[in-house]
């Protein structure tokens, strides 16, 4: 994929694009299914906190590569291998929806 194509990738980022049920309502229902009382003191603001944290953890879906990387994304012709190391990566497991982090290494 070219740098130009990477700059144009964009994913849904708001309720109109991903559905109409507010995240807080889904988290509240999840707590109920788990047998918790979402109205008890310790959980009163949990649906709002979880919705905000998921929004932050997935904010990259609403961004293009150019917005994330700025002027660090460019095309270059070369004869030798180019390697970038220790790129911090933060994401969410698609099977469990749990956050994870690590380092990426890219060579071309």
Q: What is the 3-state secondary structure (H, E, C) of 6-47?
A: HHHCCCCCCHHHHCCCCHHHHHHHHHHHCCCCCCCHHHCCHH
- What are the angstrom distances between the C-alpha of 19 and each of 12, 15, 53, 61, 68? 10, 5, 18, 15, 25
Listed by start position, the domains of the chain span 3-107
Supply 55's token pair: 């929004």
Q: What is the CA radius of gyration of the chain?
A: 19
Q: How far apart are CA 66 and CA 86, in angstroms?
A: 20
> In CATH, what class is 3-107?
mainly alpha
pLDDT, one tens digit per residue, over 41-91 is: 999 999 989 888 888 888 888 888 788 888 877 777 888 988 889 999 888
The pTM (predicted TM-score) of the whole model is: 0.60
**Banded pLDDT at 11 (limits 50, 70, 90):** very low
As a whole-number percent, the residues of the chain with pLDDT over 70 amount to 81
């Amino acid at each position: 994929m070219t740098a130009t194509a990477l700059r144009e990738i964009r994913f849904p980022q708001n309720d109109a694009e991903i559905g109409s049920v507010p995240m807080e309502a889904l988290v509240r229902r999840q707590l109920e299914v788990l047998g918790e009382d979402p109205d008890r003191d310790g959980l009163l603001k949990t649906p709002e906190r979880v919705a905000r944290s998921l929004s932050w953890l997935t904010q990259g879906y609403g961004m293009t590569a150019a917005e994330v990387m700025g002027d660090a994304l460019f095309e270059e012709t070369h004869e030798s291998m180019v390697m970038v190391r220790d790129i911090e990566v933060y994401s969410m497991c698609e099977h469990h929806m749990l956050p994870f982090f690590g380092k990426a290494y890219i060579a071309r």
